[in-house]
Amino acid sequence: MENTKNYDMSEYRNKIMHAIVSNENMVRLLEEDPTGHPEDTIPYSKAYPYEYIPDEAAESGKYISFELHATTDERNKLFKSITVSFFILCHADEVRTAKGLWYDSVSCELENVFAGGNLGIGKTSFISNIAYAPNKKFKGRLLSFAVKELQYGISNGT
């Protein structure tokens, strides 16, 4: 598996999840204790390495999920570009906070973490922030970042 381009995608997902669970502000926004073990409690319960859409019947919840989109360079078969999309969702009854809208706070923090950063996958730049509402009960934002100066992972010998 380590000799495939797609192994890099798995590696990138792990690095992005690590960046989320190791950021104290993100952990607090997901209503977890940053002094606990957020690396054990947040993945697959509040943060997902794929587009997660909660069931409309869910009573409440706040979620961050993300997806990677990649294209290759046909001349050397390495990834040419990667876009990281973050799906930020919360139950409509939990949108408002003392500081404004919950998903706006999360959007700002994700931009602080990812825009211009490296995270071991390459330098990222902000592309877009658009409204996202996958069902009637959950509202949020869809943020996208382009990965520039892509760093190749284990499958390519780095």
How would residue 114 be classed by pLDDT, with cut points 50, 70 and 90? Answer: confident
Tell me the pTM.
0.86
Query: How does DSSP classify residue 42?
Result: S
**Is the CB of residue 137 less than 8 Å from the CB of residue 58?**
yes
Q: In the prediction, which pLDDT does 133 show? A: 94
pLDDT in tens, 38-70: 999 999 999 999 999 998 876 789 999 999 998
Residue 65 has a CB neighbour count (10 Å cut-off) of 19
The stretch 82-93 carries a mean pLDDT of: 94
Positive or negative, the CA dihedral 97, 134, 47, 125 is negative
The whole-angstrom separation of Cα 9 and Cα 67 is 10
Residue type (1 letter), 115: A
Domains of the chain, start order: 5-156 (3.30.70.1700)
